[in-house]
Copies of this chain bind each other. A is one copy, B any other.
């Protein structure tokens, strides 16, 4: 890699002159500036990022800590983060907690040494369930800003970007009741221990209450495996009065459609199915599932922008941004 020193030596001028010339300092003469720049491009000089970082004590890098990236929600969020970061000339270092406390802790710890200027994270399942979040507080106390999205710790004060989990489910359920005239709505859940799961269940329960209907919840293991099919199949078979299904994750809704068809129930005639979903979710089911589409990409973008703003000191008051979801109904034309 070419350095300032090398350029200076070749041009027989001092390092500082080269530096200034490259940075378009007014002190430098037109002549030398051109000479310097020519040689620089010729030798493909690039300022050493590490040295700049040491000098300025900022890394222009964001640490991104995700529970997993094989879940399409987080993948899409990551996409949004990457775009926004790039647009602001930030890099991202990505760590995956794999839903474990210890990996999350380790990642925060390892990056809290100047590697990053701040963090964007969604809390690992284990941390959230066991309510162990001291490691996150430590980071914040060490003056490294943390932005939490989606899965959020209530008693930690920091910028947050969340989804309207309660409201979006409430609205979807209400739509099932009012528009589709459903009375027996089953909720299928495999994430009831997460903050988002609880919010979604609350939205469901409240909507039913408000319409004097009673809730009906089928809980599944959070490890999504083949058993899911069997359990849903059995349940639907045993409860033929179910006339709508609300899945609060992005896969059991599709499974439910497949199982219902197998039993011979007509969709959407005798059964409405709503799930959470993303880009291609609807393409994978036939008849089409209705989805609560979380704007994952947007969540990533907003999180990044909010963190970077606070990094620039443009935003000192902490805030919580709610990104609304969109209810995408299946087109009955299918």
Interface residues of A (CB under 8 A from B): 1, 44, 46-51, 53-54, 59, 61, 64, 68-70, 72, 75-76, 78-79, 82-83, 86, 91-96, 103, 110-115, 142, 224-226, 228-229, 251, 254-255, 258-259, 261-262, 278-280, 283-286
Contacts and interface: CB of A to CB of B under 8 A. Distances in A.
Contact of A280 (B1, B47, B224): B224
Contacts of A69: 69, 75, 78-79, 82
Contacts of A54: 48, 50-51, 54
20 contacts: A1-B142, A48-B114, A49-B113, A49-B115, A50-B53, A50-B59, A61-B93, A69-B75, A69-B78, A78-B94, A86-B95, A86-B103, A91-B93, A91-B95, A91-B110, A92-B93, A93-B93, A229-B283, A254-B284, A259-B286
Contacts of A47: 113
Main secondary structure of the interface of A (DSSP, over half): mixed
A144 B79 CA distance: 26
Given A79-B69, A254-B284, A284-B284, A50 B115 contact: yes
Contacts of A255: 283-284, 286
Contacts of A284: 251, 254-255, 284-285
